[in-house]
């Protein structure tokens, strides 16, 4: 579809809802363009059919805020699942590496490494957490 036809079709919709008065440019384009003529004809048929259905439009109200909130909840659930999966994977890797480390090396060295991690890991993770929460 040509860009000009798209603009004209938007104007046809505006004319139908009395948001725009009949324009000579639109009328001449409709007379010369079969796509726009078909669009106007189909729009009129569709709207006439909708009028015969006798649908109560008050029942069809959409709460945009509710839809956006549901989308945010879905996105947050997916994000939480991904973070949980990353946490579980990391924990399993640390557990397996600790077991392998202990099996192949001295237990004292493992103990020193764990003490080092317990005291220093929060110093590394807290800034990352604050950075992450400041982006929200």
Q: What mean pLDDT is reported for the chain?
A: 79
Distance CA 22, CA 88 (A): 65
Contact at 8 Å (CB) between 36 and 48? no
Q: What angle do CA 50, 32, 30 make, to 5 degrees?
A: 30
Q: Indicate the pLDDT class of residue 29, thresholds 50, 70 and 90.
A: confident
Q: Indicate the pLDDT class of residue 61, thresholds 50, 70 and 90.
A: low
Using CA atoms, how far residue 102 sits from 31, 105, 106, 113, in Å, is 85, 5, 6, 11
79-123 pLDDT, tens digit each: 888 888 888 888 888 778 777 766 777 777 777 877 888 888 877
Question: Average of pLDDT values for 27-54?
Answer: 80
Contact at 8 Å (CB) between 12 and 41? no
Using CA atoms, how far residue 116 sits from 23, 90, 96, in Å, is 78, 18, 18
Calculate helix-pair angle for 64-104, 107-135, nearest 10 degrees: 160
Q: Indicate the pLDDT class of residue 54, thresholds 50, 70 and 90.
A: low
End-to-end CA separation in angstroms for the chain: 41
């Amino acid at each position: 579809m040509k860009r000009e036809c798209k603009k004209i079709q938007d104007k046809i919709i505006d004319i139908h809802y009395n948001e725009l008065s009949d324009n000579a440019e639109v009328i001449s384009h409709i007379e010369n363009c079969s796509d726009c003529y078909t669009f106007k004809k189909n729009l009129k048929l569709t709207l006439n059919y909708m009028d015969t259905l006798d649908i109560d439009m008050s029942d069809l109200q959409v709460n945009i805020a509710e839809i956006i909130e549901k989308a945010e909840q879905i996105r947050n659930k997916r994000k939480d699942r991904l973070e949980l999966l990353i946490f579980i994977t990391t924990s399993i890797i640390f557990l397996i590496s600790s077991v392998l480390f202990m099996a192949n090396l001295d237990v004292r060295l493992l103990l020193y490494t764990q003490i080092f991690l317990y005291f220093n890991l929060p110093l590394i993770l807290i800034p990352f957490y604050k950075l992450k929460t400041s982006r929200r």
